Structure 1
Amino acid sequence: MLVTLLSIATLILVFLIRFNNRIPILMYHRIATVPGERNSLPPEKFKEQLDYLKKHGYNTITLNDLYNHYSLQAPLPPKPVILTFDDGYEDNFLIALPMLKERNMKATVFLIANWVGKENKWENFNHQLTRTMKWEQLQQWKAAGMEIGSHTLEHPFLTQCDEVRLLEELMESKRVLEEKLAVKIEFLCYPYGFFDDKTISTVKQCDYKGALAIFANAPLWKQDMYALPRIPVPSRQPLWEFVIKVSRWHIIFIMLRKLERGVKYLIRK
């Protein structure tokens, strides 16, 4: 019995040492109450989460902060966490931004360059019709100290693109956003979380500092700036689970989701 307890304690210690410097990266989409849409977080829940982070001493950082930490050993504040928004919906500006500014917090939005200021008609999954941020709103987002990244030109499955289309999606989206917003675009978010070796190679070719996935295919035992795993925050997120997702144990949640995805894939086969 004693040997078993010592073995478990040793495994926990090794785990904590191995993953102690991993920073939780949260993934949001809409901040809105939309019945039946898993990726739309009600504003009151978003407020609850921000208040928890503030109360418990968490500090929001940017992806550039993360890059400088891993590449240049730049120090980070205590209990760092990264907040990211996919697609750039207008409610991110109207609802999320005031909450972030009120608490002096930072966040990163990933934009679909050809869909800025337009209705979300790239989503053919019966999603509620809404709009993305306009260029003027994105200028205000930037002026508030928030970060901006690319989510490609059209939001395709990058692993299904030929080499010409892949290069265009990554390079042209970067060019458009930099030209319109006068800001350096240094990070990419993979649409649907899908990527492969060819995708990563092209991302590097386009001079991005890093890229974000979800959890599928993202390596956990090593830190790869071009395959950073993120933690989705669904619409019915209970606070107790959110607490785990921003703790040093967040990597366990990612591992369990990877395992769940793997089991489902085997069942379908």
Structure 2
Amino acid sequence: MKKSISLGILGLFLAVSCQQKKEVSTQKEVAVSETKASPKKEEKLVMANAAEILTRKEVPILCYHNIKDFSASAGEMTKTYTVKPNLFAEQMKALSDAGYHSILPDQLYDYLVYNKALPEKPVMITFDDTRGEQYSIGAAEMKKYNFKGVFFVMTVSINRPNYLSKEDIKTLSDSGHTIAAHTWDHHMVTKYAGEDWETQLVIPKAKLEEIIGKPINYFAYPFGLWNKEAIPEIKKSGYKMAFILSTKRDSIDPLYTIRRMIVSGTWSTPRMMEAMEATFKNTK
């Protein structure tokens, strides 16, 4: 009888113990489930002011126009704005060999505004004026080094002979390059008035967005020329940054005066590398 009672008590103890373990296990599973289900708190980003942006080390930004051969008798403008294909190939290889990594405007914006990290030795490779060889030669050469570029398009030229087609522009975008605006017909912004802002800023932006199916957030001034009156219009048109050439940035709106350097067709590859380092002395 005593033995029977003892066995009964033992059985009851084991049953209670198993139930407690099951409850604890269930509680742990619920806790884990709730932890997984709970969304992480998003980090609150604080935008830098103009003074803070100006303290960031500048990123080297190269500006190319034509990539084709030219003769020794070519005019000075042609020589300045045209880089021979073999030299362009050398320059891309030199950048890669020196450890540079290409970046795009979204990365530059996040770095300048939110101080987000960039790759080691960043460089931006940009193209102006919509020339066809920028796709057939430029993009093809950059692909060898996994470089991505920025193509500033003036929309009046799209589909013209020796210029980028709609298909080229869409392919570049789909391949990871950035498409950006360079006005409708390359008139300098310092002379805009009235409907010019709509014609040169708003309509080209919408046309390019229709072609690539993505927002167009960046703009390059024709000839690199800008004035303070243009910046509010560029902002109002929906652009996040605008690019000049290698003149001084604006202290109030540095995001709308991002410096670039034209690569001259008269330079050797070592000269180009030296010019880049001299132009962007405080580069990261």
Does TM, scored on the shorter chain, surpass 0.5? yes
Q: Distance in 1 between matches of 2:253 and 2:120?
A: 20
Cα deviation, 1:134-191, whole Å, max 9, x if unaligned, reads: 0111111112211110001111121111132123311111011101221210000001
Larger Rg: 2
Question: What are the ranges of 5 or more consecutive residues in structure 2 without an aligned counterpart?
Answer: 1-53
CA RMSD of aligned residues (A): 2.0
Partner of 2:192: 161
Q: Distance in 1 between matches of 2:115 and 2:55?
A: 16
Q: Distance in 2 between matches of 1:33 and 1:81?
A: 25
> Does 2:172 match 1:136?
no
> Does 2:280 match 1:251?
yes
Question: What are the ranges of 5 or more consecutive residues in structure 1 without an aligned counterpart?
Answer: 1-17, 120-130, 254-269
> Is the 8 Å Cα contact of residues 157 and 164 (structure 2) preserved in structure 1?
no
SS at match of 1:167: helix
> Does 2:182 match 1:151?
yes
Partner of 2:255: 225
Q: Aligned-pair distance for 1:19?
A: 6.9
Q: Distance in 1 between matches of 2:121 and 2:246?
A: 21
Partner of 2:67: 31
Q: Aligned-pair distance for 1:222?
A: 8.2
Relative to the length of structure 1, the TM-score reads: 0.78
Map 1:1-269 to 2 at 5 A.
21-35=57-71, 36=74, 37=78, 38-119=80-161, 131-216=162-247, 218-219=248-249, 224-247=254-277, 249-251=278-280
SS at match of 2:179: strand
Identity of aligned residues (%): 24
Cα deviation, 1:32-89, whole Å, max 9, x if unaligned, reads: 1123212110011111111111111100100111001111221100000100000121
Q: Aligned-pair distance for 1:252?
A: 5.5
- Equivalent pairs counted in the alignment come to 223
Q: Distance in 1 between matches of 2:253 and 2:228?
A: 16
Cα deviation, 1:104-154, whole Å, max 9, x if unaligned, reads: 0010000011211114xxxxxxxxxxx211011111111221111000111
